[in-house]
A and B are shown apart, each in its own frame.
Chain A
Amino acid sequence: MEGDVRNKARASWDMGSLPPVECLRIERSDSPTPDLVEGTEPGAGQQAAMFVHSRSVEDLPAEADEDAESRVEPQPVADGDPGSSETFGTSENGLQVEENIIEVAQAPKESSWAESRTKEEDICSDGWRSHRKHVFVLSEAGKPIYSRYGTEEALSSTMGVMMALVSFVEADKNIIRSIHADGYNVVFLSKSPLVLVAVSQTRQSDKEMIRELQYIYYQIVSLLTLTQLNHIFQAKKNYDLRRLLAGSEHLIDNLLRRLDRDPGLLLSAVTCLPLASSSRDAVSASLQAAKAPSLVFSILMKDQYLHHMDLHLVFNLVCSSSSSFREGEGWTPICLPKFNSAGFFHAHISYLEPASELCLILVSTDREEFFSLSDCKQRFLERLRKRNAYQALKEAVKTPSYSVDLVGIPELRHFLYKSKSSGLFTSPELPGVYQSEEGQERLMGLYQELHSRLHHSTRPLLSIYRCGETENFMAWLTSGFELYLCLTPLVTKMQAVSAVNKLLKWIRKEEDRLFILSPLTY
């Protein structure tokens, strides 16, 4: 049955009204992976196959999709590991109900894609299709709100189909969660009044993808507040939400990009600037001394006082608007959905000095308080200077990360360590092998996979040791921490275990520099 579906789907794919299929495409659709999925369990053998495959494709010449790409954003590595078209989802249970729907769904999709053309990115093109991960947001009336690639108008019929799928299953008092077919994972997240859909060719599990969709959902909530969102759709079911989100699409684009790269989003943790504990105390004390009555939070660079999700949304806001805050002071409403999804806070965003990398974010409850927060910043800066902490801080910012060599374990390439109690994580600079965009996303992909294995909902694991062709991994989950090691491929299991012990010792030694051990509250 499963094989059937896949073949049919592929047939329609090839026959469909596509532009001529170039060699890359053939290479990919003829890849051995579908068969692999049938036979192997998600395990080591399959991993190895995957590595071989991903390398072979990386060796191929220029990317076919580059030309269709008119956005400025960096190409999400469509070809990083197309071998990933296999899913461990296929062997998973429960969601197969929709298998027969997919045939129905694909037919109309094909035709609608053929009809509509867009200026931005031709959604009929191979380039559009071969993006690794598509994300769509629509309203419950089926109105398009956001699409990662291509314009929303062109996709309105596709989104209509998605909505039809959701309501079809809903009619039976069921919830559609995902569809697995032809190497694609289609994951649905229904958060009334919005529906979020991800279509991916990566090896990510459903759970991972749902988590990413949740981030997107909260990003939208943080722009509008949940109260306002509900209010709008109660008043007018077919409201075009794009009117209100205009100009903020790049926030979502950027968030998606960070989801592919930033381990913090994966681990639900944030990282803080390595700083000697004495300077950190001085900075915190200065912050606290400079407070104003309405001030709720202050975040200097990467200090944590907030739910990690909210914090990431704030960071995303700041990172996405590179220049506008740099010389002036920003004053913007922001909803922190995990803290209070009903109302706006007001964030005062400023750089300590125009040329400095240090961004101070002060969050207040009162929208009239701009000038008092502005004062706050000045007082903070003065105090910092008086205590000589500013210099230390500036020094620390120059080297925000550290090299993995510092740990003194030659086999160790990279690691992620999350301290559960503080919600903070630490990880060294990416070594040369992973510094390219592709490398970074590939490494993140592998971490993501380990992460989803450890946190599997039905079969959670405590530790994993995995050998690959290009690197070995060790992952360990305890009640206190979560640890992922990326090691050179020739390491034995014994060496890996001793590396873990050494690393833990090192982290304990550096603990007060790497983490905020005693966060302050107002």
Chain B
Amino acid sequence: MSAMRVDTKVVMLGKESVGKTSLVERYVHHRFLVGPYQNTIGAAFVAKPIQVGDKVVTLGIWDTAGSERYEAMSRIYYRGARAAVVCYDLTDSSSFQRARFWVKELQNCEEHCKIYLCGTKNDLVQADRGLRQIDFHDAQDFAEEIGAQLYETSSKTGNNVDELFQRIAEEYSDSAFQYMSNEAGVDLSQKKDSYFYSCCHNN
């Protein structure tokens, strides 16, 4: 699976338990796992080919852990990402603050990375409007301000999930067409960057 060529790197960011893994699960495996919350450890990688027009684009999706413990090393996961899905929980205002943090981080370190804001757990909000803590228009304003696109998704029902990733793939495909001469995807066998990292670089 991983031996295939990955065209573009997509990274999932956001506070813990907002549902990044669920979003990936829904998109890649078309399922929603019910059960006790399990946090992601480190990060998980999955490659997913997707049809855009008459071409196939392979997204290399990095599902990162939201836990603060991994924050110091989050850079290795989003470095070189062409798209970032910054997730927040529609029913948790603190997760939106965290999303702002990630956006700032990306703007500082990865200026070529396109940002997709994603409000998760839309099904909860649909079921009970009182649960909503993040107003759609506030989020919309923020998205405009940072030049991002906004999606509200539900991994439980699948609402808007495919649209989000389809959009990512399309936009990549468009931009790849424009910059075809510059770079042609990421070669998995490429050697690592020249700078040196010690194994205890996290401090």
A contacts, CB < 8 Å to B: 72, 223-225, 227-228, 231, 243-248, 250, 317, 321-325, 327-334, 342-347, 365-372, 374-375, 377-378
Q: Which residues of A contact B38 (CB under 8 A)?
A: 250, 321-324
Q: Which residues of A contact B21 (CB under 8 A)?
A: 324
Within 8 A of A (CB), among B147-161: none
Within 8 A of A (CB), among B119-136: none
The A interface is mostly helix, strand or loop, or mixed, namely mixed
Q: Is the CB of B40 within 8 A of A324?
A: yes
Of A228, A330, A333, A342, most B-chain CB atoms within 10 Å: A333
Q: Is the CB of B42 within 8 A of A330?
A: yes
Q: Is the CB of A331 within 8 A of B43?
A: yes
Chain A CB within 8 A of B108 CB? no
Q: How far is the CB of B144 from chain A (nearest CB, A)?
A: 32
Q: Which of B29, B46, B73, B203 contacts A329 (CB 8 A)?
A: B46
Proximity string of chain B (8-33) to chain A, C-beta cutoff 8 Å, 1 when within and 0 when not? 00000000110001001000110001
Of B16, B21, B188, B199, most A-chain CB atoms within 10 Å: B199
Q: Is the CB of B41 within 8 A of A332?
A: yes
Q: How far is the CB of B192 from chain A (nearest CB, A)?
A: 4
**Complex Cα gap A344–B197 (Å):** 11
Q: Which of A321, A344, A366 contacts B41 (CB 8 A)?
A: A321
**Complex Cα gap A463–B69 (Å):** 47
Q: Which of B16, B29, B46, B76 contacts A367 (CB 8 A)?
A: B76
On chain B, the number of residues with a Cβ less than 8 Å from chain A's Cβ atoms is: 40
**Complex Cα gap A156–B46 (Å):** 42
Chain A CB within 8 A of B63 CB? yes
Q: Is the CB of B41 within 8 A of A367?
A: no
Q: Which residues of A contact B68 (CB under 8 A)?
A: 243-244, 246
Given the known inter-chain contacts A223-B69, A228-B203, please indicate yes or no for A375 contacting B192, CB distance below 8 A: no
Q: Which of B3, B17, B28, B45 contacts A370 (CB 8 A)?
A: B45
Q: Is the CB of B33 within 8 A of A323?
A: yes
Chain A CB within 8 A of B202 CB? yes
Q: Is the CB of A72 within 8 A of B36?
A: yes
Q: Which residues of A contact B65 (CB under 8 A)?
A: 247, 332
Q: Which residues of A contact B46 (CB under 8 A)?
A: 327-329
Of A248, A321, A324, A346, most B-chain CB atoms within 10 Å: A324
Chain A CB within 8 A of B180 CB? no
Q: Is the CB of A332 within 8 A of B42?
A: yes
Q: Which residues of B contact A328 (CB under 8 A)?
A: 24, 44-46, 63
Q: Which of A248, A365, A378 contacts B67 (CB 8 A)?
A: A248
Q: Is the CB of B69 within 8 A of A245?
A: yes
A367 to B, closest residue via Cβ: B76
Q: How far is the CB of B21 from chain A (nearest CB, A)?
A: 6
Q: Is the CB of B198 within 8 A of A324?
A: no
Q: How far is the CB of B80 from chain A (nearest CB, A)?
A: 11
Chain A CB within 8 A of B178 CB? no
Q: Which residues of B contact A323 (CB under 8 A)?
A: 33, 38
Q: Which residues of B contact A243 (CB under 8 A)?
A: 68
Q: How far is the CB of B60 from chain A (nearest CB, A)?
A: 10
Q: Which residues of B contact A334 (CB under 8 A)?
A: 42
**Complex Cα gap A225–B3 (Å):** 32
Proximity string of chain B (62-78) to chain A, C-beta cutoff 8 Å, 1 when within and 0 when not? 01011111100100100
Proximity string of chain B (164-203) to chain A, C-beta cutoff 8 Å, 1 when within and 0 when not? 0000000000000000000000001110110001111111
Q: How far is the CB of A285 from chain B (nearest CB, A)?
A: 21
Q: Which residues of B contact A366 (CB under 8 A)?
A: 192, 197, 199
Q: How far is the CB of A83 from chain B (nearest CB, A)?
A: 33
Q: How far is the CB of B187 from chain A (nearest CB, A)?
A: 9
7 closest A-B pairs (Cβ-Cβ)?
A: A332-B42, A343-B200, A247-B39, A328-B46, A368-B192, A328-B44, A374-B2
B189 to A, closest residue via Cβ: A375
Q: Which of A228, A347, A370, A378 contacts B202 (CB 8 A)?
A: A228
Q: Is the CB of A247 within 8 A of B67?
A: yes
**Complex Cα gap A344–B28 (Å):** 30
**Complex Cα gap A180–B152 (Å):** 57
Since A247-B16, A247-B66 are in contact, a sample of 7 more A-B pairs with Cβ atoms closer than 8 Å, ordered by chain A residue number, is: A228-B202, A246-B67, A246-B69, A247-B17, A330-B44, A333-B42, A333-B202
B191 to A, closest residue via Cβ: A372
Q: Is the CB of A327 within 8 A of B28?
A: yes
Q: How far is the CB of A154 from chain B (nearest CB, A)?
A: 21
**Complex Cα gap A27–B185 (Å):** 71
Given the known inter-chain contacts A72-B36, A223-B69, A368-B192, please indicate yes or no for A324 contacting B41, CB distance below 8 A: yes
Given the known inter-chain contacts A244-B68, A245-B69, A248-B67, please indicate yes or no for A227 contacting B43, CB distance below 8 A: no
B28 to A, closest residue via Cβ: A327
Q: Which residues of B contact A245 (CB under 8 A)?
A: 69
Q: Can you identify 7 A-B contacts, CB atoms within 8 angstroms?
A: A227-B200, A243-B68, A321-B41, A324-B40, A346-B199, A367-B201, A371-B189
Q: Is the CB of A375 within 8 A of B45?
A: no
Q: Which residues of B contact A244 (CB under 8 A)?
A: 67-69
Q: Is the CB of A227 within 8 A of B76?
A: no
A364 to B, closest residue via Cβ: B199
Q: Is the CB of B193 within 8 A of A368?
A: yes
**Complex Cα gap A317–B65 (Å):** 14
Q: How far is the CB of B58 from chain A (nearest CB, A)?
A: 14
Q: How far is the CB of B95 from chain A (nearest CB, A)?
A: 13
**Complex Cα gap A413–B73 (Å):** 50
**Complex Cα gap A306–B44 (Å):** 24
Q: How far is the CB of B31 from chain A (nearest CB, A)?
A: 10
Q: Which residues of A contact B63 (CB under 8 A)?
A: 324, 328
**Complex Cα gap A72–B34 (Å):** 13
Q: How far is the CB of A10 from chain B (nearest CB, A)?
A: 37
Q: Which residues of A contact B199 (CB under 8 A)?
A: 343-346, 365-367
**Complex Cα gap A415–B41 (Å):** 35
